[in-house]
Structure 1
Amino acid sequence: MSLAHWLPFAIASAIVIIIPGPTVLLVVSYALGHGRRYAFATTAGVALGDLTSMTASMLGLGAVLATSAALFTALKWVGAAYLVYLGVKLWRAPVSDAQTPDISETRASKVFAHAYAVTTLNPKSIVFFVAFVPQFMDLHASAWPQIPILEATFIGLATLNAFGYALLASSARRAIKSRTVQRAVNRTGGSMLIGAGVLAATWKSASV
């Protein structure tokens, strides 16, 4: 794959990735609620979720979702419901004093699973990959040598982006000492996740 095809893809991907979406909201919410200790778990979940969505897209699932209204709608509602569930859970999360660690969620495996599910159960992402990636491929060369390069580039950038958001949010968390402020942060993050779920439920593909 030539640099002329790869570099525009990398730049466009970075621009798309840095815009906060449901996945970033989840990463920030966990970092604010639990600190830096879950940054790796959420980042790993995001990376594996992007890998799953992108690979599924390249294998043709995106084309199916783009043409099958029933399948797209079903997956869309599952992902939207999960985002709303996480938003309600964050809204109701207990707060603690700054000196007392938040232990409402102690298993990194569950944090990883949540990040993976939110990233994967987003039909918009799958359709997006199908529409986005081919624009940067060399049509005169074999597709399969290019796909791993493009996947590795996008996932690498998405992973760095998620980890950066997690570190920034965890640093902001250490500055928060008021239980009232913590509760407001939880409810703000929860509201944003619920809003993301509603948007995911109402988003329509042009092909559906």
Structure 2
Amino acid sequence: MLSTLTLSFALTAFLIELTPGPNMVWLALLSARQGRRAGFAATLGIALGLGLLALAAVFGLAQLVAEYPLLYQGICLTGVAFMVWLAWDAWRDPADQASWANSVQQTSRLAFLRGLLINVLNAKAAMFFLTVLPNFIDPQRAITQQYLLLTGIYLSIATAIHVILVLGGNRLGRLVIKQAHSTAVRAVSALALLGVAAWMLAKL
């Protein structure tokens, strides 16, 4: 049975992934204009990039968290601050992110490589794995196994949302772009992320 921390992490990952951002807007445009094959290739590249980033964080951080409790507390506090920044980022009116899909026609191979590279080099995702994820770890239990479980949950949620975007095609793509510029949607996203930050701070 999943613990409260694990379920809370799943909800947090879901909220973050539903917040319109570069990956979502690019994937929606790519799928709408170039079809599902390119969209699925990009989804695979995104998942692989996030997975590699997560594994690097897991094996680099798990040992430190186990050996230095004070470091763990510092990481968790940094995670709270990062969630507040994500809330601010969600609230801001986004710049024109459509340029990623407005360039030259992308084959499935290029879509895969772009999805992979964008996410291997994704500083925001790296910060999430390094600072937010540890807030959902129980230091009294096997740490590496918890990291791997939460990473799997995050990748499953992100990939499921990306697949739905690809399957939704042109109509869903237009809706995502519209919502990315909606003041109400950005406000709700920001408040939800602030709520997560407050919960994380309260449990420290």
Tell me if 1:141 matches 2:152. no
Q: How many angstroms apart in 2 are the aligned matches of 1:19 and 1:89?
A: 18
Q: How many angstroms apart in 2 are the aligned matches of 1:90 and 1:8?
A: 34
Tell me the equivalent position of 1:55.
55
CA RMSD of aligned residues (A): 3.1
Tell me the equivalent position of 2:5.
5
Q: How many corresponding residue pairs?
A: 145
Tell me if 1:45 matches 2:45. yes
Question: 5+ residue gaps in structure 1?
Answer: 67-85, 94-103, 175-184, 193-208
* 1:101-145 CA-partner distances (Å, limit 9, x unpaired): xxx33x311110111111221112101211111111111012111
Q: 1:19 to 1:37 in 2, by over 3 A?
A: same
Tell me if 1:109 matches 2:120. no
Mapped contact 1:33–1:173 kept (Cα < 8 A): no
Mapped contact 2:45–2:116 kept (Cα < 8 A): yes
Mapped contact 2:58–2:144 kept (Cα < 8 A): no
Tell me if 1:17 matches 2:17. yes
Mapped contact 2:28–2:165 kept (Cα < 8 A): yes
Q: 1:17 to 1:89 in 2, by over 3 A?
A: closer
Tell me if 1:121 matches 2:118. no
Q: How many angstroms apart in 2 are the aligned matches of 1:115 and 1:108?
A: 10
SS of residue in 2 equivalent to 1:111? helix
Q: How does 1:169-188 map to 2 (within 5 A)?
A: 170-172=169-171
Mapped contact 1:31–1:173 kept (Cα < 8 A): no
Q: How many angstroms apart in 2 are the aligned matches of 1:88 and 1:172?
A: 19
What is the deviation of 1:41? 0.7
Which has more radius of gyration?
Answer: 1
Mapped contact 2:58–2:148 kept (Cα < 8 A): no
Q: How many angstroms apart in 2 are the aligned matches of 1:113 and 1:16?
A: 23
Tell me the equivalent position of 2:81.
none
* 1:63-83 CA-partner distances (Å, limit 9, x unpaired): 9xx9xxxxxxxxxxxxxxxxx
What is the deviation of 1:59? 3.0
| Matched-pair identity in % | 24
SS of residue in 1 equivalent to 2:140? coil
Tell me if 1:36 matches 2:36. yes
* 1:29-80 CA-partner distances (Å, limit 9, x unpaired): 211220222222111111111101211222338x9xx9xxxxxxxxxxxxxx
Q: How many angstroms apart in 2 are the aligned matches of 1:89 and 1:15?
A: 24
Q: How many angstroms apart in 1 are the aligned matches of 2:38 and 2:103?
A: 19
Q: 1:165 to 1:151 in 2, by over 3 A?
A: same
Mapped contact 1:22–1:118 kept (Cα < 8 A): no
SS of residue in 2 equivalent to 1:158? helix
Tell me the equivalent position of 2:27.
27
Q: How many angstroms apart in 1 are the aligned matches of 2:23 and 2:101?
A: 14
Which amino acid is 2:53 matched to?
Answer: S
TM-score by length of structure 2 reads: 0.61
Mapped contact 1:57–1:127 kept (Cα < 8 A): no
> Which has a greater percent of helix?
2
Q: 1:140 to 1:45 in 2, by over 3 A?
A: same
TM-score by length of structure 1 reads: 0.60
